[in-house]
Amino acid sequence: MRRIYNRSLLILSIGITSLMIIYCGKNQQKESPVVAKVGTETFTLDELKEVIPENSGLEISSVQVQNYLKRWIETELVYHQAIANGFDKKAEIQKGVQKVIRDYIVVKYLEENIDQDLEVTDAEIEEFYKNNSTEFVRNEDYYNVNLILVNTYREANAIIDALNQGEPFAKLASTHSIDESREKNGSLGWVTTSQLPPNIAERVPYMGLNYKTQIRSIHGYYIVEVTAKRKKGEIQAIDEVRDLIVWRIKAWKRENKYRRLITYLSENADVETNWNIIKEVIGDSLSN
């Protein structure tokens, strides 16, 4: 359980941040344009940008933005009413707020003192790969696939002719394809047959490398090319699993740093646990 403490901290941090916004308010003057307002509390364009993911592959619709602002307004309305009713003065609320603040401090402290400076060198990656290569056996066949999708048989034939005359696949895909992969010049990257439309998945395993074929579907006409294959049962190349290796090495380093910190703090603090009293409460099933 301790080995996944960082994942728990991430979840806790998200929750704590939300609670801190509710309880602490936002009273500082901001130059950014105000997009929503409840009483004296404002929500600015800069704050809105902070909560919109920067991942270009994830489009945020106007409805999603409206819903987010609606939830912010509703939260502020309830918060203001709760303050007006003196709800924040209740002992249990004060205790909860103090816990939120304490947990937030712990999260930020660990981020700054544990999660930073977890560098992973190429030598460490190569050593980990060498010592654990049997863990990286490929469990499926993978294919590096390019495709172009057009509406008509005539368009498909014209593109096949252009490819045979030496026109670059990427150029034709970015210019003529109606598939979303056109944004990546027709490249699907490394995929399994389960990630492909059924009629394409049936053909890909039997295609020669760099051979172009035309496949009809309900969406139109696909021009498909397989540029490389990786077979099931083979050990994945180090570049295929580099990100996973980096993550695992960082997790190991993070755990070690955390354990060293706890050991140091324990040795320099008065820590005591009375297991006898605990056993009286929860019974003899308590494991040592």
Count other Cβ atoms within 10 Å, centred on residue 144. 16
Q: Give yes or no: residues 217 and 183 share one domain.
A: yes
pLDDT given at position 166:
92
Whether 177 is in a domain gets the answer yes
Domain count, the chain: 3
pLDDT value at position 286?
54
Is 112 inside a domain boundary? no
Query: Which DSSP string corresponds to 103-169?
Result: HHHHHHHHIIIIISS----HHHHHHHHHHSGGGGB--S-EEEEEEEEESSHHHHHHHHHHHHTT--H
| 110: in domain | no
Give residue 248's domain range.
Answer: 117-136+243-288
Specify the pLDDT at position 67: 87
Residue 268 in any domain: the answer is: yes
The pLDDT of residue 65 is: 83
**Cβ proximity of 180 and 153 under 8 Å:** no
> Is residue 215 a contact partner of residue 221, using CB atoms and an 8 Å limit?
yes
Regarding whether 182 and 44 lie in a shared domain, the answer is no
Q: What is the mean pLDDT of each run of 10 residues along the chain (288 residues)?
A: 43 46 47 88 86 58 84 92 94 94 95 89 95 92 95 94 93 94 93 92 93 91 94 91 94 94 92 83 62
- Do 23 and 94 lie in one domain? The reply is yes
- Same domain for 92 and 171? no
In contact, 224 and 147? CB cutoff 8 Å: yes
Distance of CA 106 to the CA centre of its chain: 23
The reply to whether 225 and 142 lie within a common domain is yes
In a domain, 57, yes or no: yes
DSSP assignment letter at 216: E
- Which pLDDT does position 117 carry in this prediction? 83
Say what the pLDDT of residue 49 is.
82
